[in-house]
Each structure stands twice: as C-alpha cells, then as structure tokens.
Structure 1
Amino acid sequence: MPSWLGLYYDEPIELVRGTGRRVVDGEGREYLDFFGGLLATMVGHDVQEITEAIREQAGRLLHSSTLYLIRSQIELAERIARHSRIPDAKVFFVNSGTEAVETALLLATQRRGSNQVLAMRGAYHGRSFGTVAATGIRGWSATSLSPLNVTYVHNGYRYRSPFGGLDDAAFTAACADELRTIIETSTAGDVACMLAEPVQGAGGFATPPPGFFTAMKEVLDEYGIPLVSDEVQSGWGRTGRAFFAMHAFDVTPDAITFAKGLGNGVAIGGVVAGPELMDCLTANSISTAGGNPLATAAGIATLDYIRDHDLQRNADEIGRRLAGGLRAIAADRPLIGEVRGMGLMIGVELVVPGTREPAPGAAVRVMEEARERGLLIGRCGLYGNVLRIVPPMTVTAEETDEALGVLREALAAAEKEVAR
C-alpha cells in the first residue's frame, strides 16, 4: 500500500462486523461507532431493509452499465431531482464524491467556457487532479499543479477569522463584500462556478451563520456565477434541518454533488443540476459502473429507511443533545476552544489551554483515549486539531449519553498529557 495511505491509531484496528451503531474489531473488541465509515455508513451497520435490498438485487443482476436502462437508477434519480428543488433537474450517477465533484467542475467549466473557479478556504472536495486543485487545505493539497484557476473566498469559519468578532449580520456582510471584491479584482470574469460545502467536513465542520449563503448567492447572481453545493458529507438530512444542507440556509444551488451516505456503505455518487448545466456537454459520455443496479438499489432502500424512520428529525434532536453535552463538557475543559456543527455533523476544536493555538497532538490523544474506552471518532480541521463526531442517523439518546461519558473521560486524560 502507498506510504501516504494513513491509518488511525498507534495500533490500527480492523473492523470485521457491525450491528446498528456497534462494530467489532478483528480481536473481538466492541466499539460504539461515532465515525460511521467517514460518514458513509449513514443509518448504521447491518440494517436489514438495506441488506435485503442489496441481496435481492445481487441475486438478479450485478451490472449492466448506463448503455442500458436501469430501473432503480431512474427511480432514484427522480427522487433526488425532486429533493434538489432545482427546476427540471437531471441526475448523473458516478461512484464517489471525488468523481461527483469532478463531474460538476467539468459541467461548469464547459458551460461557461472558463476554467476559473471560486472555492472556499478550508474546503475539501476530493483526491483527483481537479478536486485537489479546488481543495483549500494545505494538508490535503498533494500538488500545486492544476487544470483550474482557483480563487479562494471566506468559508464562514469564525473562530480564527479576522471578522470573527462581528455579529452575525456584520460578519456575513463582510464576507459577501470580500467575495464581491475578489470577483472584481482576482478573476478575469466569466467565472465557471463557486464550489461550496454548506458545512465543511475535512476543514473542521466550519458552520457559517444562517444568512451567510443567502448573501453569498446574491453576490454570485449579480455576476451570473453558478453555485455548486458539495453535499457529499452533509446531504440526506444529516444536518437535521433540511434534506440537502444548503436548503437549511434558504438557498437553492444550481447544482448539488452527493455521495457517501446515500448507499450506506455501498459506493455511489452523483450530480443533480438543471438542464442548461447538465446537458451542456457536446461529446459522448457514459458511466460503466455509475448508477449500477446494486448501488442504486441500496440508495433507494437507504432513502426509504430515512423517510420511514424520520431520521432527519432524529438527527436534529440527537444532534442538539450531543452538541449540548459537548458544550457542557467544554465549560470544564480548557482544551476545548469551540464546539460547532449542525445535526449529526459536530466538530470539537482543541487548543492549547488558555490560547487559540491549535492542539493537534491533543486531538490524537483524545482519539486514542476514546478508542481505549470503546468509542470511535474521527479527526479533521486545517491543523488536524478538530474532533469529528458523526454517528449514524439512527443513534439513540442512550448511545449519545454513553459517548459523552467516554469523551468527558478522554478529554480529561488528554488534558493531563498536554499539561505535562
């Protein structure tokens, strides 16, 4: 395996089976999973309705390609198009979030005849040549070479922003003014699109104020610049406030990319956009495996499960419980600089106590301490100092309280290590 393929923990673990929100490693030890396969296992492990849909489809046909009609692909596309709120929307399926964003960039640059793209500081959009170019995190930028001309704008992250001391309205206005200035001074016009995560994932769950994207979209509309919402991590109701997170900001984007949780672990991704954008390609294009029968059957079963069990409401209610519990812990733990997020996308930024200096070593230590106590979480942020807490949308109040107890102990133990 390549040297740059990182693994969590000093002694990496192999997960061999799971049920609900619990997983078991190769040595038989059980963990409460609050990472969900990097947000992909969205409704939990071994969900029978989804497992049966996959098994049934596998017994009929695994593959055919987009050169043939695929009933489940069309049915899933119709549902996603309705949820997108984009007029006359069309959907193209791929195999991952990276490929979804790459497709959106292809469409936008072709439509506008420009390789100029606006992206957000702290953004992560994938690991391919084009998506790395649009990524605004040094630690995930593998090369300076690029097929795009990218200009970065403010992402709504207030904790370290020079605008951070302003109230919501003034902060939003300052970011919108900066966007307008950047368009006027740092681009040559005809910008292909602005690419934005409503809640940034790898960037540390930066969560802007409620009116932020409304103001940014108004500026984009002045210049005719399409907005592409990267919902690879935030879609399907995980934020608790909308099926797609950008809708929680009262904004309908021009295109939406999606992936991860839609298949609940089965690889799937895609783009939904209006016909002017989606139909702009003049060359032939197909997808060998995108929208394959197995993946789209899993996608339909996952959306059914979310709807039938009202999981968006659960994400909102349990998310508030989890965030509230973490803020209560933060009151006694100077290691915590900020708790932020929406629904079941929560970040805990760790700092050197008494400062705002990032504490990535403490984040590593908290993860190790949590694992020793039977809890799996992730890590992210510009400096690797943000705990990523993203349980499946089926998580219960009891499991949330259990995780909070573990995190309280893990943070206390890590704080002692930092103080040495």
Structure 2
Amino acid sequence: MSDLLARHRAVMPNWLALYYNEPIEIVSGKGNRVVDANGKSYLDFFAGILTNMIGYDVAEVRDAVERQIATGVVHTSTVYLLRGQVELAEKIARLSGIPDAKVFFTNSGTEANETALLLATYARKTDQILAMRQSYHGRSFGTVAVTSNRSWKNNSLSPLNVHFLHGADRHLTQFRGMSDEQYIAACVDDLRHVLATAVGGDVAAIIAEPIQGVGGFTMAPDGLFRAYQEVLAEQGILFISDEVQTGWGRTGSSFFGIQNHGVTPDMMTFAKGLGNGFAVGGVVARGDLMDNLHAVGLATFGGNPVAMAAANATLDYVLDHDLQANAAKTGAIIIDGLREAAPRLPVVGDVRGKGLMFAVELVGPDGSPSPELAAKFMEETKKLGLLAGKGGLYGHTIRMAPPLTLTEEEAREGLGIIVTALESL
C-alpha cells in the first residue's frame, strides 16, 4: 500500500485529498460493506461521497449494465436517439413536480449546476445570482463562484455577480437562541435588504442546497426557502435547488430535499447517487427555461447508454423498495441514538440530520470547532470498521450518509461504532 501511495503522490495533484494517515484502497464490496486491499471489512457510512446510493454489487444494476454492454453500444452521443435517456428523463420529470419539465443529462453535479446557471442567466439576461453562505456547488469556474466556503475557493475571479445569504448559519451570535420562526423572519429581512442595497437591477436566480453537503450537513429550518421563494417571486427571480446530495429520498421526509420546504423550484440539479457509482448528473427544469437557449447544444458523454442503464435500474430499485421510507426509519435510529448520547459526550457540539444524512460537530473544551478531533474520530472509526466523511466550514464536522439500503441491524451497529469512537475522544 505504501508503494501505491508513493505512486499516487508522484503523479496526482497535491490538493487531491486522501482520508486517513494510512490511506486505504477499496478492492471489493457487497451490500453496504467494502473490503480494503489488506482484507479489512468496513461498514460504509459515506458511500463514495453519497454516490453508492443502494450499496455494492446490486444484481439489478449489474444486470442492466451488462445487458447494455453486451449490445456492443457503450456510446453514441446525444446526436442520436437514446431510449434509456428518454425513459429516465420521463421518470425524473414526473417525480420532480415541476410543470412541463424537461431534462438535460451531464456527467456530474458540477456540470449540472453550470447548466442551471446558464439557463437562469440567459433567461433573465443578468449575471446576478444569489447563493447561500457555507455552500458548495462544484469545482469549476462558475460553480466556485457560487460556493461560499473559503477552503474550496482558489480565487475570487468569477463569471457571475454573486451575493450570499443567511440561512444555514444559526451558530452566529446574532442568531443564537432564535426559534425557527424568528430565524426565518431575520433571514427574510436580510434577503429584502440585499435586494434593496447590494444588487443592481434584475437578479437571475437563487441556487441553494436544501442540506449543505460540504458545509457539514448544515441546513435551513423547514420553511425558510418557501419564505425566500415568496420574496423572490415578486421580482421573477428563479429558484435552483441543488439536489446533488439530497435527492432520491435520502432525507426520508421527502423525495427531493426542497420539498421539505413546500417549494417547487424552477430547476433542480442532480448527480451522485442516481447512477449508484456510474457517472451521471443533470438538470430538470421548466420546459420553457430548458428550451429557451438559442445556440445548438449537446452532451458527448452526458446520458450515455451505460450510465442510463445503471441510473434507470437504480431509480427503479429506490422506488420499488420504498427506500425513502427506509431512510426515514434507519436514519431515525442513528440520529435519535446520537442525540441521546450527546449530553454525556463533551466533544459533541451538535448533532443534526434528516433521514440517512446526518452529522456530528466536534468541539474542544471551550466549545470551539476542533478539526483535530475530527481527524482523530476518522482514525478511530477506521480502526473499528466504519467509513465516515468530513466537512463543515472549519473542518470539524463528521458527515455520514450510508446507502439507502441500510438495515436496522446495520444502523444500530454503525451507531455503536460512532458512539464508541466519540467516547474514545
């Protein structure tokens, strides 16, 4: 493994992060567990950054992909009809609830968000965008502009004119102790003030994650985005919901994260879990917005036949097995268990989550964020056989999102490992 690590460091960029003091190579997987090159097994609570949505070695997905490969056609591009692409778009358009919806497929969430920003700025004829503080929307030039986390921004150059809003930052002094209603009212006041002072002329759209992924699963209280949408609608400002991490029933309480707020957005972006590991992303938007562009467009690899076979099989599996309900049930076991344990664990600053998307903030004796404890937690859970992820504005948040196929027994097993690791800290 040390040889592979040395080879990695020789040819891969230094900024390509690796977890653990001794990084692992995952060589096999089955169900919700993976095995590394040393033969050690792990219960996977990070799922390839929320991407292996229904676990590993799923027969339905494997068979669908093998059938497509057996045809000899793994690529044609979008200049030809693609049956699997049309079938998947029909399902997503129906599930989205967006009127007269149309779908465009990409290879990633970054590409999907770039497309949504293009659609919005073109439709509204302005480069002004509203985004949320602590957000993350991708690593490309445009998506970095709407990302509000200094750790993920290489420069301030931008093709967009962006203004950042409150909504997931209740830890700030001015918001502490507020009820949900009071916090929503304060954020709406701030939105109106931004629209009255910071912008010049029309604004194209707001782009927001219902639950902030890289931000450490911080989230606005349910109803905030409905209140925002009511204000934005007064000026015709569009709403883009970034569902790259919150889509497909992961929150348990709704199929898309924005639905927890009672909002039907103008566009939703998606990626990650839809292909259960195969590269697929996209935008589902109002038909008039999608059709509005005047220039010719295509996607060479977006929506390719193999990815579409995997995505159709994955989405069918999620719906046929009601994995949204399973996320609600198994997520409650873990989140409730963590909240019950938190009062006796002084290193825990906060526990939050919805469904199978939950996080633990780690803090020092004075209550300040502790990325050092987060790093120690990662090493402890690795020893105990569980894979987790890190995030948060200060790198002190453990974020976890197991496959939606997690069983109740595995939920309790994972909870036990997490609590044991926290106790060891």
TM-score interval, normalised by the smaller of the two chains = over 0.9
Residue 304 (structure 1) aligned to one of 316, 320, 335: 316
Q: For the residues of structure 2 that align with 1:353 and 1:73, how far apart are their CA atoms?
A: 53
After superposition, the Cα gap between the structure-2 partners of 1:381 and 1:161, relative to the gap in structure 1 and judged at 3 Å, is: farther
Q: For the residues of structure 1 that align with 2:70 and 2:195, how far apart are their CA atoms?
A: 53
Q: Is the 8 A contact 1:183 1:189 kept in 2?
A: no
Q: Secondary structure at the match of 1:331?
A: helix
**2:192: which partner in 1?**
180
- Structure 2 unpaired stretches of 5+: 1-11
The AA in structure 2 aligned to 1:16 is V
User: With structure 1 as the length reference, what TM-score do the two structures score?
Assistant: 0.97
After superposition, the Cα gap between the structure-2 partners of 1:161 and 1:133, relative to the gap in structure 1 and judged at 3 Å, is: farther
Q: For the residues of structure 2 that align with 1:10 and 1:155, how far apart are their CA atoms?
A: 35
Whether 2:408 is the aligned partner of 1:397: answer yes
Give the C-alpha shift of residue 155 in structure 1: 2.5
**1:107: which partner in 2?**
119
Superimposed CA distance per residue, residues 196-251 of structure 1 (whole angstroms, 9 cap, x where no aligned partner) = 00011001111222221111111111121001000000000000111111012110
Pairwise CA RMSD? 0.9
Superimposed CA distance per residue, residues 58-84 of structure 1 (whole angstroms, 9 cap, x where no aligned partner) = 111101100000001000001100111
Residue 339 (structure 1) aligned to one of 332, 335, 351: 351
The AA in structure 1 aligned to 2:134 is G
Q: For the residues of structure 2 that align with 1:339 and 1:227, how far apart are their CA atoms?
A: 29
Superimposed CA distance per residue, residues 100-150 of structure 1 (whole angstroms, 9 cap, x where no aligned partner) = 000101111111111111000010000000001110001011221111111
Whether 2:303 is the aligned partner of 1:288: answer no
Whether 2:189 is the aligned partner of 1:170: answer no
Q: For the residues of structure 2 that align with 1:382 and 1:156, how far apart are their CA atoms?
A: 11
Give the C-alpha shift of residue 354 in structure 1: 4.3
Give the C-alpha shift of residue 276 in structure 1: 2.2
**2:152: which partner in 1?**
140
Within 5 Å, which residues of 2 pair with 1:28-43? 28-43=39-54
Superimposed CA distance per residue, residues 145-167 of structure 1 (whole angstroms, 9 cap, x where no aligned partner) = 11111100013332336223111
Q: Secondary structure at the match of 1:320?
A: helix
**1:121: which partner in 2?**
133
Q: Secondary structure at the match of 1:162?
A: helix
Give the C-alpha shift of residue 281 in structure 1: 1.0
Q: Is the 8 A contact 1:109 1:116 kept in 2?
A: yes
Q: Is the 8 A contact 2:361 2:397 kept in 1?
A: yes
**1:75: which partner in 2?**
87
The AA in structure 2 aligned to 1:206 is T
**1:46: which partner in 2?**
57
**2:255: which partner in 1?**
243
Give the C-alpha shift of residue 310 in structure 1: 1.0
Q: For the residues of structure 2 that align with 1:127 and 1:154, how far apart are their CA atoms?
A: 22
Q: Is the 8 A contact 1:347 1:387 kept in 2?
A: yes
Give the C-alpha shift of residue 330 in structure 1: 0.8
Whether 2:278 is the aligned partner of 1:266: answer yes
Superimposed CA distance per residue, residues 324-343 of structure 1 (whole angstroms, 9 cap, x where no aligned partner) = 01112212101111111111
**1:10: which partner in 2?**
21
Q: Secondary structure at the match of 1:17?
A: strand
The AA in structure 2 aligned to 1:119 is A
**1:214: which partner in 2?**
226
**2:3: which partner in 1?**
none
Q: For the residues of structure 2 that align with 1:281 and 1:321, how far apart are their CA atoms?
A: 47
The AA in structure 1 aligned to 2:188 is A
The AA in structure 2 aligned to 1:48 is A
Give the C-alpha shift of residue 306 in structure 1: 0.6
User: With structure 2 as the length reference, what TM-score do the two structures score?
Assistant: 0.96
Whether 2:67 is the aligned partner of 1:56: answer yes
The AA in structure 2 aligned to 1:109 is T
Q: Secondary structure at the match of 2:344?
A: coil
Q: Is the 8 A contact 1:235 1:243 kept in 2?
A: yes
Whether 2:151 is the aligned partner of 1:130: answer no
Q: Secondary structure at the match of 2:212?
A: coil
**2:4: which partner in 1?**
none
Q: For the residues of structure 2 that align with 1:145 and 1:205, how far apart are their CA atoms?
A: 27
Whether 2:25 is the aligned partner of 1:20: answer no
Residue 154 (structure 1) aligned to one of 160, 166, 174: 166
Give the C-alpha shift of residue 307 in structure 1: 1.1
Q: Is the 8 A contact 1:191 1:225 kept in 2?
A: yes
> How many correspondences in the alignment?
413
- Structure 1 unpaired stretches of 5+: 415-420
**2:394: which partner in 1?**
383
**1:410: which partner in 2?**
421
Q: Is the 8 A contact 2:133 2:168 kept in 1?
A: no
Superimposed CA distance per residue, residues 381-416 of structure 1 (whole angstroms, 9 cap, x where no aligned partner) = 0001110111000001111111111111211222xx
**2:334: which partner in 1?**
322
**1:418: which partner in 2?**
none
Q: For the residues of structure 2 that align with 1:64 and 1:116, how far apart are their CA atoms?
A: 37
After superposition, the Cα gap between the structure-2 partners of 1:322 and 1:178, relative to the gap in structure 1 and judged at 3 Å, is: same
Give the C-alpha shift of residue 192 in structure 1: 1.0
**1:359: which partner in 2?**
370
The AA in structure 2 aligned to 1:317 is K
The AA in structure 2 aligned to 1:402 is E
Q: Is the 8 A contact 1:156 1:175 kept in 2?
A: no
The AA in structure 1 aligned to 2:371 is P
Identity across matched positions, percent: 56
Higher mean alpha-carbon deviation, 100-109 vs 159-168, is at 159-168
